[in-house]
Amino acid sequence: MEPVRYDDRQEIVSLRLQPAVSGKRRNLKKYLYAVLLLLPLLLFIIGFFVIPMLYILYLSFIDTEGPGGTNATYSISNYGRFFTDPYYLHSLWLTIKVSLYTVIVSLLLGYPVALTMAKCSPRVRGLLTLLVASPLLISIVVRNFGWYLLLLPNGTVNQLLIGLGITESPLKLLFSEAGVVIGLSNAYLPFMILSIATSLYNIDPSLEKAAAILGASPFRSFISITLPLSLPGIVSGMVLVFSMSMSAYVTPALMGGANVPVLPVVAYDQIINLLRWTYGSAVSYVLLGITLAIVTIFTRMMEKGRYREVFR
């Protein structure tokens, strides 16, 4: 019955490591044991995540284009350049916009599904869970090419829209923000649904009865009871989907192409195509910083807001 805990989610986002057992002296043995168990993972994370990240951070502060030419000097000029060049600022804004749309779309599509899962019998629930998680079983590239075919100017979706008379000429779904949002929503919807569903499962069903007997219609009961109590799931789903969308590369590259140059695509381009490692590193860190900042501010706001009690 333990609801999704906040700390768990923040760890997913920031990959902060915390010892599983408190370090009190009398627990020393237990603590050592835990460390021992965690050691392989710890080494893996240090070797393949922490060190590369630190290296990239180091690179981002190297200035190779300054007066010294190839003689590297340390400066924040890479960051300065990012925040003064409209192209990159636009790219940042685009990334945030696309991610926000993805969050909204997957929230709107996901909530009703999660609600259905919470209401149905355990057997149907298992089946639905499998169905919801099934997109995760397909390679992201394969899935995107599927959408590719559907969203082409003369693809199935456009033919359907024209056939139904909703639009006269084909919509530009591919190589557009819409295409990226469709692709990202499809990819991350399972995280949103499962996260919301988990918090819905934890709501005591008698609360709805209590609301009803006090005179609340099903709609009113949903607005006043179910929705606020599922906020932890909503917030964790939003945070997950948002941070994954911010850092998504494959889907924007395939579905948006050059028309939707989000930051991960820009960083990739800088490093792989233009071999500007130092600038690409700075772009990566800007992306990381902005994502963390937005997520932190958002979760803090929710935790301190009207429904702070729900997050206890």
Partner 1 sequence: MQALANDVEIRGVYKRIGRNVILDGIDLEVKQGELLTLLGPSGCGKTSTLNVIAGFLDIDQGDVFIKGRRVNDIPAYKRDLGMVFQTYSLFPHMTVYENLDFGLSLRKVPKDEKKRRIQKALELVKMTGLEDRYPRELSGGQRQRVAIARALVVQPKLLLLDEPLSNLDAKLRHELRAEIKRLQKEVGVTTIFVTHDQEEALSMSDRIVVMNKGKIEQVGTPTEIYIHPRTEFVFQFIGKSNQLQGRVKSIDSRMISVELEDSGQVLVEAENVMGSDRTCTKGDAVKLYIRPEKLMIQPVENTNPNYNSHTATIVQMNYLGSAWEIEVSLLGKRMQVLHPSIEAGWTIGTEVMVGWNPSDMMIVKK
Determine if 214 is a binding residue for partner 1 (CB under 8 A).
yes
In the set 164, 213, 258, 275, which binds partner 1 (CB under 8 A)? 213
Determine if 217 is a binding residue for partner 1 (CB under 8 A).
yes
In the set 220, 223, 274, 293, which binds partner 1 (CB under 8 A)? 220
Spatial contact of 233 and 196, defined as CB atoms under 8 Å apart: yes
Residues constituting the chain: 312
The helix/strand/coil state of 90 is helix
Q: Which helix (H) or strand (E) holds 63?
A: strand 62-63
**Hey, which residues between 152 and 191 contact partner 1 (CB under 8 A)?**
none
Cβ proximity to partner 1: between 42 and 216 the closer is: 216
Determine if 1 is a binding residue for partner 1 (CB under 8 A).
no
Tell me, residue by residue from 56 to 85, as one string, x for binding to partner 1 by CB under 8 A and - for no binding.
------------------------------
In the set 16, 26, 123, 312, which binds partner 1 (CB under 8 A)? 312
Report d(CA 241, CA 194) in Å as an integer.
Answer: 12
Report d(CA 129, CA 121) in Å as an integer.
Answer: 12
Determine if 206 is a binding residue for partner 1 (CB under 8 A).
yes
Determine if 124 is a binding residue for partner 1 (CB under 8 A).
no
Determine if 253 is a binding residue for partner 1 (CB under 8 A).
no
Cβ proximity to partner 1: between 211 and 287 the closer is: 211
- Closest CB 210 distance from partner 1, rounded Å: 4
Cβ proximity to partner 1: between 2 and 309 the closer is: 309
Nearest CA-CA partner of 238 in 105, 91, 71, 70: 105
In the set 35, 109, 150, 212, which binds partner 1 (CB under 8 A)? 212
- Compute CA distances 216 → 23, 113, 207, 225, 302, whole Å: 49, 23, 11, 10, 25
Which stretch, 23-31, 68-76, 150-158, 199-207, contacts partner 1 (CB under 8 A)? 199-207
Report d(CA 299, CA 305) in Å as an integer.
Answer: 10
Q: Which helix (H) or strand (E) holds 74?
A: strand 73-74
Spatial contact of 215 and 225, defined as CB atoms under 8 Å apart: no
Nearest CA-CA partner of 221 in 232, 210, 230: 210
Report d(CA 160, CA 68) in Å as an integer.
Answer: 59
Provide the β-strand partners of residue 25.
none
Determine if 209 is a binding residue for partner 1 (CB under 8 A).
yes
Spatial contact of 233 and 114, defined as CB atoms under 8 Å apart: yes
Determine if 24 is a binding residue for partner 1 (CB under 8 A).
no
Determine if 4 is a binding residue for partner 1 (CB under 8 A).
no
Spatial contact of 241 and 188, defined as CB atoms under 8 Å apart: yes
Determine if 215 is a binding residue for partner 1 (CB under 8 A).
yes
Cβ proximity to partner 1: between 142 and 213 the closer is: 213
Determine if 304 is a binding residue for partner 1 (CB under 8 A).
no
Nearest CA-CA partner of 258 in 166, 184, 179, 193: 179
Cβ proximity to partner 1: between 225 and 244 the closer is: 225
Determine if 222 is a binding residue for partner 1 (CB under 8 A).
no
Give me the residues that bind partner 1 (CB under 8 A), please.
204, 206-207, 209-218, 220-221, 224-225, 228-229, 307, 309-310, 312
